[in-house]
Amino acid sequence: GRGQCLNLGPCNTGCAQGAKSSVDISYWPVAQRMGVELRTNCRVNQITVDANDMATGVEYWDADGILQHQRAEVVIVACNGVGTPRLLLHSRSTRFPDGLANRSGLVGKNLMLHPWGSVSGRFDEPLDSHFGPQGCCLLSQEFYETDESRGYVRGYNLQITRGSPPVATARYGVASGAIPWGPAHHDEFEKRYDRSIHIGVCAEDLPEEHNQVVLDDVLTDSNGIPAPKIVYRTSENSMRMLAHGTARAAEALEAAGAVETSVAPYPIRMAGWHLLGTARMGSDPERSVVNEWGRSHDVRNLFIVDGSVFVTSGGVNPTTTIQAVALYIADAMKKRLATLFD
């Protein structure tokens, strides 16, 4: 089990108490008790296939930098919406000259990132807002569904979060322009630390094929593997959504008694956390990369279980949905063991 949360606050820097439901606490120990060998500090080069379009294993550099090949009856990929298409596109062969499992031409396309807006409200009284786990405390879906009178389609979540620890308070203040550098820095910081609430605007990013992950022609990693190159443009629809959402967030904070509100320039540039859509799920092999239970249409023993299988992003953090999809695919595989490759 997990440790008890001590309400320390800076959860993003890691949890020494072991109270977060991160994979090292919730899944890895269980897997290792069941006999799974976890090889760390390795880097996969490519997935190998045979003449029958079946994956034979993975080629990887081990912790000592030695190139190895691990044979496998089944290959499961969970490298997120950037790492998964990078690996598949790099796994070219005579059978798959455009990248593994890419006969649809859709591997890497339809990248969705959740354009993000952020509004901060400063209050006169201390709020104890830096205590407790970071994350969404209150959620509003008032503007989640399409209302064409607003000038855009789909919608967003308003995610009300507690205030930030010291470093995050300073960073957010500088980014938004509320806390200047120079002599006034500390005075403005003290006005905001423990006296702020944030409202995030999580906009539903719509799938567009021109938003994609490709392999860079020049940049490589230390093993010579081409780096992923992100080709992405925030749509006009998303920009209108963020304008509407940040205005509503500022109104809510003012109604709650904030003496000052500040809207960070949107979309937040460092908010590419949710990497989705680049190996989409579907029943039609010409319009999707994997089938309805995560198996590649082109390679019958290759499965994808991360956010790249999403066909739409929704307007909310996808972490629990990714976990649910992974568990669903694992269960579907277990039920079909006798006919898994049919």
Would 220 be classed as within a structural domain? no
pLDDT value of residue 240: 98
Residues of the chain with pLDDT under 50: none
If asked whether residues 155 and 287 sit together in one domain, one would say no
Would 70 be classed as within a structural domain? yes
| Domain CATH code at residue 299 | 3.50.50.60
Dihedral of the alpha carbons of 193, 194, 195, 199, in degrees to the nearest 10: 90
Would 154 be classed as within a structural domain? yes
If asked whether residues 256 and 146 sit together in one domain, one would say yes
Helix (H, G, I), strand (E, B) or coil at 316: coil
Tell me how far apart the alpha carbons of residues 11 and 118 are, in angstroms, rounded to a whole number.
19
If asked whether residues 125 and 244 sit together in one domain, one would say yes
Would 214 be classed as within a structural domain? no
Would 22 be classed as within a structural domain? no
Would 2 be classed as within a structural domain? no
If asked whether residues 158 and 244 sit together in one domain, one would say yes
Number of domains in the chain: 2
If asked whether residues 172 and 249 sit together in one domain, one would say yes
What tokens were used for 55? Answer: 């994956």
If asked whether residues 152 and 289 sit together in one domain, one would say no
State which residues form the domain around 248: 116-206+235-263
Numbers of helices and strands, H then E, in the chain: 7, 12
Question: How far lies 182's CA from each of 164, 168, 178, 265, 333, in Å?
Answer: 21, 18, 13, 22, 59
pLDDT value of residue 174: 86
pLDDT value of residue 254: 98
If asked whether residues 162 and 248 sit together in one domain, one would say yes
If asked whether residues 258 and 307 sit together in one domain, one would say no
pLDDT value of residue 311: 98
| Residues linked to residue 161 through DSSP beta bridges, in sequence order | 136, 198
Are 84 and 279 within 8 A, CB to CB? Answer: yes
Cα-Cα end-to-end distance for the chain? 39
Would 20 be classed as within a structural domain? no
Helix (H, G, I), strand (E, B) or coil at 60: strand
Amino acid at 57: G
pLDDT value of residue 262: 87
pLDDT value of residue 217: 97
pLDDT value of residue 138: 87
Dump the DSSP string for 94-139. Answer: SS-TT-TT-TTS-TTBS-B---EEEEEEE-SS---TTSS--SEEEE
Would 127 be classed as within a structural domain? yes
If asked whether residues 129 and 200 sit together in one domain, one would say yes
If asked whether residues 171 and 257 sit together in one domain, one would say yes
If asked whether residues 179 and 288 sit together in one domain, one would say no
If asked whether residues 187 and 50 sit together in one domain, one would say no
